[in-house]
A and B are shown apart, each in its own frame.
Chain A
Amino acid sequence: MNVQEALEIVSQTHSGMVRSHNEDSVFYDASCGLVVLADGMGGYNAGEVASGITVSLMSTEIKRRLESVRPEEKDSTSGEDIGVVLLRENVQKANASIFSASQSQPQYAGMGTTVVAGLFYDNRVAVAHVGDSRMYRLRGEAFEAITRDHSLLQEQIDGGMISKEDARSSKNKNLVTRAVGIDAEVAAEVNVYEVQVGDIYLLCSDGLNDMVEDEEIGATLQMLQSNLPLAASQLIELANDNGGRDNVSVILVKVKGEFAVPSGWLAKFMSWFRN
């Protein structure tokens, strides 16, 4: 199965119940296994500009590069998957582009965005993120976040200063310690995970997980996994019913089959033949 046949992807975004405009941007393309979600911040429309730059730059650049390179191959200098390098480099490019726009145009000063992106290839997913946009995974009964926020609160949790339960009532939510476009450079955190058939991946902006408890997000995906578009609209509805204080965006990726890259010479030949 190629990655396009193996993945079912849906997405929805909503400005929420309070905000007048939507500063989130989303992109997905099953044909190259790429999903990107960004949550912008900044006055006027600067937030939309920052998230929009990130999503369009990452999607066009990575798609273009994938025409000539294979994500599962190893990079000759770093030894990492090319897919990992592509994500990291393009977050950096988006960062440079936003940073220079905000330096040159006063109305964009200080704009930035969080981002979470996934590139699916060879039964794996490379996940890059900056800030507090998240990726979760539902595998069987287990629902968990596979990204860890770059936020003050997460650092407090990691440092043992505050328990996860107490963190829910913290007044220090929404303080991110990393964002795209704020400084001249940014380090995206990139990890690679094995993918199993049946997994559902959720990418979301904090408008979802600030309004809806993880358990409820997980239960919703579990119950509605057979109807992905309904699951996506249900999640948005839950966030809005709970107050919808922020823009809320979700991308859902369901793994319907294996998408391993053929490895033997015969398999390679056959796959070439099929094309």
Chain B
Amino acid sequence: MAAKLILSMDGVVLQEYVLDKERMTIGRKAHNNIVIDNLAVSGEHAAIVTILNDSFLEDLDSTNGVMVNGAAVKKHFLQNNDVVEIGKYKLKYLNEQQGQATAADFEKTMVLRKPVKTQQPNTPQADAPGAGSAAHMQTQVNIPPVSAKHEATTGRFDTAAPQAVAAQPAATLAPAASPAPAPGAQAQSGTAVPTAAVQILSGPNSGKELDLVKNLTTLGKPGVQVAVLTRRPHGYFITHVEGTNRPTVNGKALDEHPHQLNDHDIIELAGIKMEFYFK
């Protein structure tokens, strides 16, 4: 599924455009890919550059500017459901790649390369890495010849000449893997666990409370005795890190393995007692 733009004005849908070209322009003049015939729109108002599954919006120095989700932008990396405003017109960006991706075709590493090399292995190596970024803008997908395998498919992407791209609708790009960003994944893990804290019960800092807001919290004195508290989706764990003495939980010394903490467990570390509890 290639990404789309839905053009509307005053809530009425006027047209739908598939982003099937590497670069599409929006403007008043007839040669644009998306023509909006309105005097508030510049001759060439904006452009959308699409590279595989990502699209970028760029204001082409228009007179009245471009807004995305209410904010003026010069250049913007479009995300699903972004609303681009040009004058009174709205263009909604839809890219459902992420939602459609299943875990199985997630995160498969694939190779991008130029087709020239397979046909003429003698060609010098001038291509792959540093070739100007313009060359990489034109990208075309060849579904690999042997792709019966589902688990860990190797796709092969050939960066082709621009003409070839024009002839090849970008819709064929769709089967490419579309990994979700790591931040999203982290947010999940961060919210699943209830908050917990440790309160120090003895020593000079007695009474102090430490919220366990990070995935890792170390306790103790480096070089003497250190333990780490880890926050995981299924709870909190304490593990011995360094020192000849080991921390105890409810009077029992820890071994090499992580020990899961329960509400109101008493930890003793380097002579300091503290209590673990859920908030």
The answer to whether B182 touches A42, judged by C-beta atoms less than 8 angstroms apart, is no
* B24 vs chain A, min Cβ distance (A): 16
Roughly how many angstroms separate A114 CA and B186 CA in the complex, as a whole number? 25
The answer to whether A223 touches B152, judged by C-beta atoms less than 8 angstroms apart, is no
- B125 adjacent to chain A (CB < 8 Å): yes
* B19 vs chain A, min Cβ distance (A): 13
- A52 adjacent to chain B (CB < 8 Å): no
The answer to whether A226 touches B242, judged by C-beta atoms less than 8 angstroms apart, is yes
The answer to whether B182 touches A210, judged by C-beta atoms less than 8 angstroms apart, is yes
Roughly how many angstroms separate A175 CA and B98 CA in the complex, as a whole number? 16
> Interface code A36-47, partner B: CB below 8 Å = 1, 0 otherwise?
000101111011
The answer to whether A174 touches B146, judged by C-beta atoms less than 8 angstroms apart, is no
- B194 adjacent to chain A (CB < 8 Å): no
* B111 vs chain A, min Cβ distance (A): 5
- With A43-B149, A210-B182, A223-B228 as known contacts, state yes or no: A245 contacts B106, CB within 8 Å: yes
Roughly how many angstroms separate A103 CA and B71 CA in the complex, as a whole number? 53
* Contact partners of A14 in chain B: CB under 8 A: none
Roughly how many angstroms separate A20 CA and B103 CA in the complex, as a whole number? 12
The answer to whether A171 touches B97, judged by C-beta atoms less than 8 angstroms apart, is yes
- A117 adjacent to chain B (CB < 8 Å): no
> Interface code A140-176, partner B: CB below 8 Å = 1, 0 otherwise?
0000000000101001101101110010111111111
* Contact partners of A258 in chain B: CB under 8 A: none
* A48 to chain B: closest residue by CB: B152
Number of interface residues of B (CB under 8 A): 67
> Interface code B144-168, partner A: CB below 8 Å = 1, 0 otherwise?
1111110111101100000000000
The answer to whether A18 touches B147, judged by C-beta atoms less than 8 angstroms apart, is no
- With A43-B147, A242-B189 as known contacts, state yes or no: A172 contacts B113, CB within 8 Å: no
The answer to whether A47 touches B152, judged by C-beta atoms less than 8 angstroms apart, is yes
Query: Which of under 10, 10 to 19, 20 to 34, or 35 or more describes the interface residues of A?
Result: 35 or more
* Contact partners of B133 in chain A: CB under 8 A: 155-156, 158-159, 161
* Contact partners of B54 in chain A: CB under 8 A: 162, 170-172
> Interface code B70-106, partner A: CB below 8 Å = 1, 0 otherwise?
0000000101000000000000000101100001101
* Contact partners of B152 in chain A: CB under 8 A: 19, 23, 41-43, 47
- A79 adjacent to chain B (CB < 8 Å): no
- A75 adjacent to chain B (CB < 8 Å): no
The answer to whether A169 touches B129, judged by C-beta atoms less than 8 angstroms apart, is no
* Contact partners of B51 in chain A: CB under 8 A: 152, 156, 161, 172
The answer to whether B77 touches A179, judged by C-beta atoms less than 8 angstroms apart, is no
The answer to whether A174 touches B107, judged by C-beta atoms less than 8 angstroms apart, is yes
The answer to whether A176 touches B109, judged by C-beta atoms less than 8 angstroms apart, is yes
The answer to whether B110 touches A41, judged by C-beta atoms less than 8 angstroms apart, is yes
Roughly how many angstroms separate A183 CA and B119 CA in the complex, as a whole number? 10
The answer to whether A18 touches B106, judged by C-beta atoms less than 8 angstroms apart, is yes
The answer to whether A166 touches B241, judged by C-beta atoms less than 8 angstroms apart, is no
User: Interface residues, chain A, CB within 8 Å of chain B?
Assistant: 18-21, 23, 39, 41-44, 46-47, 106-107, 109-112, 114, 131-132, 150, 152, 155-156, 158-159, 161-163, 166, 168-179, 182-185, 187, 189, 206-207, 209-213, 216, 219-220, 223-224, 226-227, 230, 234, 237-238, 241-243, 245-246
User: Interface residues, chain B, CB within 8 Å of chain A?
Assistant: 49, 51-54, 56, 77, 79, 95, 97-98, 103-104, 106-113, 117-118, 121, 125, 128-129, 133, 136, 139, 144-149, 151-154, 156-157, 176-179, 181-183, 185-186, 188-189, 214-216, 218, 222-223, 226, 228, 230, 232-233, 239, 241-242
7 shortest interchain CB distances as A-B pairs: A43-B149, A159-B133, A171-B53, A184-B121, A226-B242, A166-B77, A169-B181
15 extra interface residue pairs, beta carbon distance < 8 Å, beyond A156-B133, A210-B179: A41-B109, A46-B154, A173-B107, A174-B109, A174-B177, A175-B52, A175-B157, A178-B111, A178-B113, A212-B182, A213-B183, A216-B215, A230-B239, A242-B182, A245-B107
**Can you list 6 A-B contacts (CB < 8 A)?**
A21-B151, A110-B144, A176-B112, A177-B113, A223-B228, A238-B215
